[in-house]
Amino acid sequence: MPAAGLRDGSTGAVANQGTNGYGWSSTPYSESNGHVLIFDRNNVNPVNNGNFSIGRTVRCVAR
């Protein structure tokens, strides 16, 4: 997956492009938060409370 960065929910600015990747899960965590996979070249970190106002990559993955 590419390290596309994210879009700030308040300013609309793109951050971490080329260094960090962020991906949404298809399953929501709550009404305003989702499961997110955050990664860089050294680490992969699943997070349970990524706010939907922050723009992250959506990628279809087949099983």
The contacts of residue 41 (CB under 8 Å, 6+ apart) are 3, 19
Number of H helices, E strands in the chain: 0, 5
Q: Quick check: 37 and 44 in contact, CB under 8 A? A: yes
Backbone angles phi, psi at 25, to 5 degrees: -85, 160
Q: Is the dihedral of CA 8, 3, 57, 49 positive or negative?
A: negative
pLDDT at 2: 80
2-43 confidence digits (pLDDT tens): 888 989 888 999 999 999 988 888 888 898 888 888 999 999
